Amino acid sequence: MDVKLAVLADFASITREGKLNILGIFDQINPPVLPFRSPQMFLVSSISAEPTEIGREFQFEILLWDSDGNEVLAIEQPIQFAQPDRPGGQATTNVIIGLSNVPFERAADYVFYIRIGGEQRRRINLRVNEPRGESQS
């Protein structure tokens, strides 16, 4: 299994044809105040499977940790890889998770960990900056 793509974005969708649309990829947030709750963001990933993984269900987990190692958020859902359209083709699944009101208590580095089947597969770094106009401490 390979996580080919993992990003944070302002918006994402999948078309009827299976195309992944991503708008506004970012790795920093500039909040107006702290603490801050991010109104909306999307964690987007594209995952390819090995032939032995097709048709099996795996637990997909998102963990958000702050720079002190405290868990801020944990989400899990099952994913499954369908048979590819053509024999011998690669099986890919796209996962879009909408996140609302994610709390950020302070300016710091945060990390989203992506785990599949209990194994860490990817990480997405996110920097929350000091609000503009406030002094840096």
Among candidates 126, 114, 4, 125, which has minimal Cα distance to 60? Answer: 114
Length of the chain: 137
- CATH homologous superfamily for 2-128? abc- transporter (atp binding component) like domain (2.70.50.60)
Per-residue pLDDT tens for 52-86?
888 889 999 999 999 999 999 999 999 998 887 77
- Look up the pTM and report it: 0.89
101 pLDDT higher than 60: yes
Q: Hey, what's the torsion of the CAs at 97, 28, 68, 107, to 10 degrees?
A: -130
Q: Which residue has the tokens 């106009």?
A: 133
Among candidates 135, 134, 105, 129, which has minimal Cα distance to 30? Answer: 129
Q: Which residue has the tokens 């994610």?
A: 102
